[in-house]
Amino acid sequence: MTRFGIEEEFLLVDRSTLVPLAMADGTRERLAPEGGGRILPEFLTSQFECVTDPLSSMTDAAAQLRNLRAALAAHAAPLDAVIAASGTPFNTTGRATISASPHYDRVSAQLGAISRGHEVNGLHVHVEVADAEERVRALNRLRGWLPVLLALTGNSPFAEGAATGFASWRSILIRRLPATWTPPWFHDLADYEGQVDRLIALSAIPERSSLSWAARLSDRFPTVESRVCDAQLSIDDTLFAAALTRAIVVAHDGPASATPVEQIDAGLWVAARHGMAATITDPMTGETTDAWAATHRLLDVVRHALEQLGDAEFVTAHIDRLRREGTGAERQLRAHAHDGLRGLRRLHLAGSDTGDFTGDFAAEPAKESPARSTTRSTTRSTEEE
């Protein structure tokens, strides 16, 4: 069974205003969830990163994600705060605080003023591939499907207290970074490592861990890492993205030739803008098609892998649910239109619900943070918990 891991990023936000709240140094490090996984600091002091252990089944992943989200919710409740599972916050006040660490110091020095508004939360999925050259081939398979994955998982429609007109505003903010969005097509591992080394030599990125491609090879683990998805509203949304990503990586069917970077980037832009109403390139044929047709093409390509992994029924059912209920971005927009901040708050609270996972998986098969000024976090401030 191919192992995988999930990294989810969240914001701590004020319950009434949904504005990010900064946390004191050491707060996040002291959170110790039960049942596996870790809670870690992220770039801003208003952010958490929840990291699962290496896992083999989506059922095990559901249990860990549930425990991690429950630990965050328990931390937020006495602070009159909620955990926002969204690619961007609904609103900000202009005082983002960067977490104190040598790595984040280097990142913020590299990004300059971009750091002031870089409040983004993603879902990263690692899929284990033992052979290094096969990891490169898997990355090449994954890159063509990035616009489809983004269209299915866009979940950041708001910024500065208003709808942006985008399904994934996070993706647009990330576009400002060096070495971002679509990776090149790589001939082999030496080609991959050589291109990354050139980016470091150009000072485009300070180190390999700062590489912002929407998919890359992990520098720490023997994994292919997808970084294209926004943070997801619900555990089921996260599991769906993880299951589909794992199937793409392990399936041996894939694009027969290298789709040009500019075509995939264009697909990412329209997927970020229009979600499942986007027109994108089918990586198997090179023809333009709508996002739903591309989704069904992807299902055809990875169906055998999904069946072998025990995820086919759940993935198919979740796609049906997306047709009925909409993506995370559509659900956020609908909740806000119906009941304003209260509607959004209910969505975020539901995402931290600790109820049992109900997905139909087979058994294992045979201080507010925001956007315009950035300060350094080294001491407790009067606004921090």
CB count within 10 Å of CB 157 equals 28
Tell me the CB-side half-sphere exposure of residue 366, using CA atoms within 13 A.
0
Q: What is the DSSP string of 18-38?
A: --BB---TTTGGG---SSS-E
What's residue 363's pLDDT? 35
- Residues forming beta bridges with residue 215, ordered by sequence position: 226
What's residue 210's pLDDT? 85
**Contact of 50 with 124, CB cutoff 8 Å:** no
CB count within 10 Å of CB 246 equals 25
What's residue 35's pLDDT? 79
Please say whether the dihedral angle defined by the alpha carbons of residues 49, 19, 149 and 265, taken in this order, is positive or negative. Answer: negative
In the numeric block, which tokens belong to residue 317? 């059912």
H/E stretch holding 374: strand 373-376
Of 298, 193, 301, 197, give the one whose Cα is nearest residue 252.
301
What's residue 97's pLDDT? 76
How far is residue 263's CA from residue 259's CA, in Å, rounded to a whole number? 7
CB count within 10 Å of CB 110 equals 17
**Contact of 125 with 4, CB cutoff 8 Å:** yes
How far is residue 58's CA from residue 179's CA, in Å, rounded to a whole number? 31
How far is residue 270's CA from residue 277's CA, in Å, rounded to a whole number? 9
What's residue 369's pLDDT? 34
What's residue 28's pLDDT? 62
The residues, ordered by sequence, that sit 6+ positions from 56 with a Cβ below 8 Å of its Cβ are 1, 2, 3, 364
What's residue 359's pLDDT? 38
| 144 DSSP assignment | T
How far is residue 376's CA from residue 245's CA, in Å, rounded to a whole number? 36
The residues, ordered by sequence, that sit 6+ positions from 150 with a Cβ below 8 Å of its Cβ are 168, 171, 214, 228, 229, 268, 271, 272
- Residues forming beta bridges with residue 96, ordered by sequence position: 374
**Contact of 353 with 299, CB cutoff 8 Å:** no
Q: Look at the block and give the residue holding tokens 């790589």.
A: 186
What's residue 356's pLDDT? 36
CB count within 10 Å of CB 198 equals 10
Which one-letter amino acid corresponds to residue 116? R
What's residue 322's pLDDT? 98
How far is residue 124's CA from residue 193's CA, in Å, rounded to a whole number? 21
Instruction: Tell me whether residue 160 is exposed, middle or buried, using C-beta atoms within 10 angstroms of its C-beta: 0 to 12, 13 to 18, 19 or more.
Output: middle
> Could you tell me the CA-to-CA distances from 326 to 154, 189, 244 in Å, in that order?
10, 39, 17
Q: What is the pLDDT along the chain (385 residues), one digit of tens a residue?
A: 899 999 999 999 999 999 988 876 666 666 767 778 988 866 676 788 899 999 999 999 999 999 999 999 998 999 999 999 999 999 987 666 765 566 666 776 677 767 676 788 999 999 999 999 999 999 999 999 999 999 999 999 999 999 999 999 999 999 988 889 999 999 999 999 999 999 999 999 888 888 999 999 999 999 999 999 999 999 999 999 999 999 999 998 776 568 899 999 999 999 999 999 999 999 999 999 999 999 999 999 999 999 999 999 999 999 999 999 999 999 999 999 999 999 999 999 999 864 433 333 333 333 333 333 333 333 333 233 3
What's residue 361's pLDDT? 35
In the numeric block, which tokens belong to residue 29? 């490090």
The shares of helix, strand and coil residues in the chain, as percent rounded to the nearest 5, are 45, 20, 35
| pTM for this entry | 0.88
How far is residue 346's CA from residue 340's CA, in Å, rounded to a whole number? 10
Length of the chain: 385
